[in-house]
Structure 1
């Protein structure tokens, strides 16, 4: 992923409230457009990098269950 794209995505949501972030995520998922995937990936990267090992384990468990 181009670093400029990553920075643009972060810039677009920086300062958003939790409700606004939730709306962004839900809209991207419900819309189902491929062009939204990089943005969701950047948001997930931020979540992952700011999570504890326990939170990461919970996310991996949820992902594993969702893929079954």
Structure 2
């Protein structure tokens, strides 16, 4: 079951007093995602410079799907 963006925002308000919770105790998956997030601007930027817009968008979508 996927949560819609609106449901996500409403649950944030309900459970976290409309504040982003503190980031504590990252696991290996969290750290790997942080590395991927840090690398994505360079990866996508290079693809865009090479006029590979579709490939750049694919990279963005791939990283977005990793955290579902």
Is the shorter-chain TM-score for this pair beyond 0.5, marking a shared fold? no
Please identify the structure whose Cα radius of gyration is greater.
2
Higher relative contact order (CA 8 A, sep 6+): 1
Q: 1 or 2, which has the higher helix percentage?
A: 1
TM-score, normalised to structure 2, is 0.29
TM-score, normalised to structure 1, is 0.29
